[in-house]
Structure 1
Amino acid sequence: MPPAAARRPVRLTSRLTAWLGKGLVQALLVVVALVWLVPTFGLFISSLRPSTDNATTGWWTALAHPGGLGFSNYGSILADSGITHAFWNTVLISVPTTVAVVVLASLAGYAFAWLEFPGRDVIFLLVVAMLVVPVQIGLLPVAKLFGALGIFGSLTGVILFHVAYGLPFAIFLLRNYFADIPREMLEAARMDGGSEWLIFRRLILPVAKPAIASLSIFQFLWVWNDMLVALIFADSGSQPLTVALQSQMRQFGSNIDVLAPGAFLSLVVPLIVFFAFQRHFVQGVMAGSVK
């Protein structure tokens, strides 16, 4: 038998094995994804059911009789001024915090990566050291400071706390990303007469767009889903949606017709943000894996 003919069955076997292995991995990933999606799907179905049905039967029973589902619960919750006010408070907290963290971290990361100034390495080490400080440790002293400044219980206080505790990780992440940019690119720009601000705006920011997008997603999701900081620093007029839903649960117990649509609304916005920046997020993860 010719050698080429002898090798053909081996190649077919290896290809079949690789295809089966790939198919098995894909099937496993699909199963894991479905398992993770079951609670979300159940929450959505529960938000469409009347309160009497939710009190007597499980959400999966609605799949057999989908005619009883409707959006009346969403109409009721959107008519609740407390919930809608808390929703907009969440937006007013999350968006400015994310913008402030990304802008300040980008400027600081560039300075730590490419600018020479006295004490640069020491200051950067202090910033990195802040990563190991738990949020819980800073709640009481910062609350006293904000009380002395007159911003305790306001949106400003919640935003400032999130910005302060989001900056160390953001600076560390962007500084390391900026430091991996080839020095020749910056030197060529300086030789062409570009200022540091022009280099940062026209060269650094476009190159670091994937990393900045990834940071924006993480920061937004962390602030949007936060409840601990808001419980401490927000009063009844500035509480976000997470605190408002927790208050509803504490007052009314099992009012799933209010909690389910409210929780699903709080879930929709992060999903929209993630899918809107998904392409940049994947690029940032891939770039970080090869640098």
Structure 2
Amino acid sequence: MEATPATKSPLTLVTHLTVLLLVALWTLPTAGLFISSLRDKDQLAVSGWWTALSSSSQSLQGRTGAAPDQKEENGVYVITGNLLGDTAGRVSAFGTTSREPEAYEAGAAADLGDGATLTVGEDGAYRLESPVPFESKRGQRVFVTAEQPPRFTLDNYREVLRSEGIGRSFVNSLTVAVPATIIPILIAAFAAYALAWMEFPGRALLIAAVVGLLVVPLQMSLIPLLRLYNGVAEVFGVPAKTYLGIWLAHTGFGMPLAIYLLRNYMAGLPREVLESARVDGASDFEIFTKIILPLSFPALASFAIFQFLWVWNDLLVAIVFLGAQDESLVLTGRLVNLLGSRGGNWEILTASAFITIVVPLLVFFTLQRYLVRGLLAGSVKGG
């Protein structure tokens, strides 16, 4: 009897479609942000990122040459030049007043009065003619509607890194995020091993306390923690607004999840491996460093992703423990300031926002293969 090909259940199809939808909802805004950050600021102001590869119609304003630029040709005074300058594009219409910026088609002659005419070609070249000498030293104002090809540039990134303080804030965020990710992992790994494999009085109570701390809101404990730290800092003569304070704060907020996640993973490791190591004379420290840590790398990487993303995107804790001074401002705080001062400059905001997310993206894609294994920690016991 011939086997009939397996058919996918409706639930499987719905699951796949849902995953594709979630991926699209996450990917499209990120791609749009990146494309917008590379676009010319004039084109970005008039069209969306999805039109980045097509020509855009822009309204430009310029002036012709003035009286010193005129030349006499066969009794006629002429001023020539190009309204587009070095910018590529095709002029479709032009005008001499803001009320009628498209009064004339490209190539037509506009009557300026007193016998003077203005002609603008499709390439932006203009010819201003008059039977009498020009006297204006400012030139004729001209409004041009031009179709311009897509333009991409790195100038947006250069400006935000040099002029807007994003470079300094990027370094500040790294200075906060890297230690605030490593310190809780180091402490929690030792605690998780003790709670998983070492017998001592009160172990069950400590595990219950860790689980209980997972539900404590950050906002409820932030002010007591700040007062405690300020009191200790005053006793030891340590400045209050330092990186040490925010490292300790993020360590305290991240420890419950780190211990819970690592303890569940370590408890699921095969007991036979540890018992064999003890028979061979290995100490708890040797078992921890040579066996447990290498086997627990998926859980360590999973927590590192969560902790790094949380610290990198944090604003509240950074403002409380570091302050809002310009020299200590992290990237999230800098973006908030830019929204207030440069809210209309989309090229600045998009470039700054992409600089903010590029590091979390690199961290996630580097360690994402360990994420699911770490999240499933403890769900299946080792044999």
How does the TM-score come out when normalised to structure 2?
A: 0.67
Give the partner amino acid of 1:214.
Answer: S
Select the residue among 158, 172, 191 that pairs with 1:108: 191
The answer to whether structure 1 residue 176 and structure 2 residue 166 are counterparts is: no
Q: CA RMSD in A?
A: 2.3
The answer to whether structure 1 residue 189 and structure 2 residue 189 are counterparts is: no
Task: Give the aligned partner of residue 248 of structure 1.
Answer: 338
Task: Give the aligned partner of residue 267 of structure 1.
Answer: 357
**Residues 151 and 157 in structure 1, CA contact (< 8 A), matched pair in contact too:** no
**How far did residue 24 of structure 1 move?**
7.3
Instruction: Give the number of the structure whose residues are more often helix, by fraction.
Output: 1
Select the residue among 35, 49, 54 that pairs with 2:25: 35
Give the partner amino acid of 1:248.
Answer: L
Structure 1 unaligned segments of length 5 or more: list them.
Answer: none
1:200-228 C-alpha deviation (Å, 9 max, x unpaired)? 00111111111111111111111111122
**How far did residue 156 of structure 1 move?**
1.6
User: Runs of 4+ in structure 1 displaced over 4 angstroms?
Assistant: 19-28, 285-289
Distance 2:372 2:209 in 1: 30
Distance 2:246 2:274 in 1: 38
The answer to whether structure 1 residue 18 and structure 2 residue 8 are counterparts is: yes
Select the residue among 313, 335, 338 that pairs with 1:225: 313
Deviates more, 1:202-211 or 1:34-43: 34-43
Task: Give the aligned partner of residue 127 of structure 1.
Answer: 210
**How far did residue 263 of structure 1 move?**
0.9
**How far did residue 131 of structure 1 move?**
1.1
The verdict on how the C-alpha distance between 1:286 and 1:140 changes in structure 2, with shifts beyond 3 A counting, is: closer
Give the partner amino acid of 1:253.
Answer: G
1:235-289 C-alpha deviation (Å, 9 max, x unpaired)? 2232211111111112232222222111111111111111212333344346655
Q: Secondary structure at the match of 1:63?
A: coil
**How far did residue 154 of structure 1 move?**
2.0
Task: Give the aligned partner of residue 59 of structure 1.
Answer: 49
1:47-72 C-alpha deviation (Å, 9 max, x unpaired)? 11233333333222323136312111
Distance 2:377 2:205 in 1: 28
Deviates more, 1:191-200 or 1:34-43: 34-43
The verdict on how the C-alpha distance between 1:158 and 1:254 changes in structure 2, with shifts beyond 3 A counting, is: farther
Select the residue among 374, 378, 381 that pairs with 1:284: 374
Instruction: Give the number of the structure whose residues are more often strand, by fraction.
Output: 2
Structure 2 unaligned segments of length 5 or more: list them.
Answer: 56-148
Task: Give the aligned partner of residue 221 of structure 2.
Answer: 138
Question: Greater RCO between the two (CA within 8 Å, min separation 6)?
Answer: 1
The answer to whether structure 1 residue 47 and structure 2 residue 37 are counterparts is: yes
Distance 1:287 1:113 in 2: 13
Q: Secondary structure at the match of 1:210?
A: helix
How does the TM-score come out when normalised to structure 1?
A: 0.87
Distance 1:49 1:281 in 2: 34
Distance 2:353 2:38 in 1: 12
Q: Which protein has the larger Cα radius of gyration, Structure 1 or Structure 2?
A: 2
Distance 2:258 2:302 in 1: 10
Distance 1:163 1:133 in 2: 15
**Residues 188 and 258 in structure 2, CA contact (< 8 A), matched pair in contact too:** yes
Name the count of aligned residue pairs: 281
Distance 1:177 1:186 in 2: 14
Distance 1:79 1:214 in 2: 35
Distance 1:78 1:277 in 2: 28
Task: Give the aligned partner of residue 164 of structure 1.
Answer: 252
What's the % identity of the aligned pairs? 43
Distance 1:106 1:138 in 2: 24
Distance 1:155 1:231 in 2: 12
